[in-house]
Structure 1
Amino acid sequence: MLKWLLLIAAGYFLYRLVTNEARKKSKDDKKQKEEMVATGEMVRDPICGAYIDANAGVTVRDGDKTYRFCSYECRDNFLKQLESGGREIPAREEKDAE
């Protein structure tokens, strides 16, 4: 009987140890993400609202403003919204290599 009680107590202790570490990691990740957003290292996708790295991802330029997207699907939805609103993003001119 004592063996079972010790085994159950050890199992419960291990369970709590693992869940506390997972919970702590989740809080640390959330805090790190908030710090990255506050320092400008991350930007928000204007379509789905996901936060992405400011130096990566899919981009679209509209004049001086650059929009960043998490996926090509969000980018395409954004372009459709611009076109339906009567605005078009000018096509980037490709220069011939000489």
Structure 2
Amino acid sequence: MLDNLSEEELLIIHRGFYVFGDSTSLKILYELNKFGDKNFSDLRDHLNINPASLSKKLKVLIEVGLVVADRTHDNLRVFYSIGKHRRALRKFLESFEKISKQL
């Protein structure tokens, strides 16, 4: 099956495993999925994540298109939310959670 995939498709799969294999990234995605838009401080406080780590993980999540960063009208704050794949990501996270409980 993987023989038929292009290099670009393999790269996309690799990035997916990289993101979903990281516990901090999963925490961020679960938080945004469950509670909606959050700013940096809210994510840091709710998830108890080191600011440098949070910044790095958000950058990766934005680069792969799973998270979107939107500035407020006054440009003072940035709110993070699940990107265009919200429905697919929600299904994935719910399935992933069910499978994890069975392990």
Q: What is the TM-score with the length of structure 1 in the denominator?
A: 0.31
Larger Rg: 1
Q: Which structure shows the higher helix fraction?
A: 2
Q: Which has the larger strand fraction?
A: 1
Higher RCO, Cα 8 Å, sep 6+ = 2
When normalised by structure 2's length, the TM-score is 0.29
